[in-house]
Structure 1
Amino acid sequence: MSIRHGLLALLDEGPRYGYQLRTEFEARTGATWPLNVGQVYTTLGRLERDGLVAPDGEDDEGHQFYAVTDQGRAELRSWFDSPVSRTNPPRDELAIKLAMAVTVPGVDVHAVVQNQRRHSVRALQDYTRLKARAMAAEAAGTGDGSADLAWLLVLDQLIFQAEAEVRWLDHCETRLANHRARPTAPGAPASRRTGQRQELGER
């Protein structure tokens, strides 16, 4: 998640101070990725250092406002125009957990998969209920149009991600069952496995 670009997008609409940025960021993403004010101001400090934002005065209560610079707008447009790179996939805790579970003696991998599957199905049900409520609010015209749309897009991504995770866990179950049914055979040479990982990283 690019917090710096999210803050730049909000500042592109007009100057804001830290707490406003935090509140609006969470409103548009449904608080899916909550921020604390300290994190916001740390990011603003880095953006200012990089010439992407500049102080823009204070209000009567002493809140420091920030405004996006021309360089910041150029950075924001470049972010919107560029696809999110998959060259170096982010570390996935679940994938790492299962990769370790199948190699550590005494771990019930089936139980690990089933526990995660139950959790993922519950999350999917929760996201689906949230989406139904958001769509009802949008249809009734009781919300904030663009903010509601932003939240629905985030919910769709969370739903698709949870669905994919459940499918992957089902696939893991099948692969584990097939592996248990196979006669023990020597694994692939280390050099071959390393080459496969390097090839994946190059794609």
Structure 2
Amino acid sequence: MSIRHGLLALLERGRMYGYQLRAAFEESTGSTWPLNIGQVYTTLSRLERDGLVRPLPENESGQRPYEITDAGRAELALWFATPISRADRPRDQLAIKLALALTTPGVDVRSVLQTQRGASMRALQELTRMKYASDGPEDLPWRLVLDAMVFQAEAEIRWLDHCETSLVRAGPDPS
């Protein structure tokens, strides 16, 4: 998730200061991706530098709200209109871990797979529980995030099954 674009999307709703942005971001994502307040203010500084947001005068509480600029709206519209590329996503740590486990002497790859499968199953169960606990219309954004996480966990478990089958086919020493 692009914090930059996430903050722009939140500012499209209306003027907010840093702590409001952090709370709104976490509420929108169900605290799946908690933000450090330092990240928020660093990102706001960069957005301001790039002309995508502008600070407003401090309010009576000493907080400085920000608002999105026309350039920020154009940037946000472009982001929403542009599909996410697989190349834009972070490296898959699990795939890298398993590839290295296969080539590292003394590592029980089947144990690595089983440990990960157990963790993935527990995560899937927790995500499913959370999904059914949120049923109000206002929970739709959070439920969609949960759905994505459920589908990713299911895909990971399926991939782990595939890895285990591949190990069996490769024989006793796949490396």
**Structure 1 residues 73-119: Cα deviation after superposition (integer angstroms, max 9, x where no partner):** 00000011110112354201111100000000100000000000000
Superposition TM-score, scaled by structure 2 size: 0.96
- 1:60 aligned partner: 60
Distance in 2 separating the partners of 1:87 and 1:125: 29
Is 1:152 matched up with 2:143? yes
Distance in 2 separating the partners of 1:29 and 1:53: 22
**Structure 1 residues 11-56: Cα deviation after superposition (integer angstroms, max 9, x where no partner):** 0111100000000000010000000111100000010011100011
- 1:123 aligned partner: 123
- 2:35 aligned partner: 35
Superposition TM-score, scaled by structure 1 size: 0.83
- 1:193 aligned partner: none
Distance in 1 separating the partners of 2:44 and 2:63: 14
What secondary structure, in the 3-state scheme, does the structure 2 residue paired with 1:64 have?
coil
Q: CA deviation at 1:181?
A: 5.6
Is 1:166 matched up with 2:154? no
- 2:69 aligned partner: 69
What secondary structure, in the 3-state scheme, does the structure 2 residue paired with 1:67 have?
strand
Q: CA deviation at 1:61?
A: 1.1
Change (3 A) 1:70 1:153: same
Distance in 1 separating the partners of 2:45 and 2:124: 37
What secondary structure, in the 3-state scheme, does the structure 1 residue paired with 2:21 have?
helix
- 1:9 aligned partner: 9
Residue 158 of structure 1 aligns to which amino acid in structure 2?
Answer: M
Residue 163 of structure 1 aligns to which amino acid in structure 2?
Answer: E
Structure 2 alignment gaps of length 5 or more: none
**Structure 1 residues 139-168: Cα deviation after superposition (integer angstroms, max 9, x where no partner):** xxxxxx44x111000000000000000000
Distance in 2 separating the partners of 1:89 and 1:77: 20
Q: CA deviation at 1:59?
A: 1.3
Structure 1 alignment gaps of length 5 or more: 139-144, 188-203
Distance in 2 separating the partners of 1:95 and 1:3: 25
Larger Rg: 1
Residue 61 of structure 2 aligns to which amino acid in structure 1?
Answer: E
Residue 91 of structure 1 aligns to which amino acid in structure 2?
Answer: R
Change (3 A) 1:114 1:79: same
Identity among equivalent pairs (%): 62
Q: Which runs of 4+ in 1 moved over 3 A?
A: none
The 5 Å alignment of 1:83-162 reads: 83-135=83-135, 138=136, 145-146=137-138, 148-162=139-153
- The two structures, once aligned, show a CA RMSD in angstroms of 1.5
Residue 23 of structure 1 aligns to which amino acid in structure 2?
Answer: A
- The number of residues matched between the two structures is 175
Distance in 2 separating the partners of 1:109 and 1:153: 34
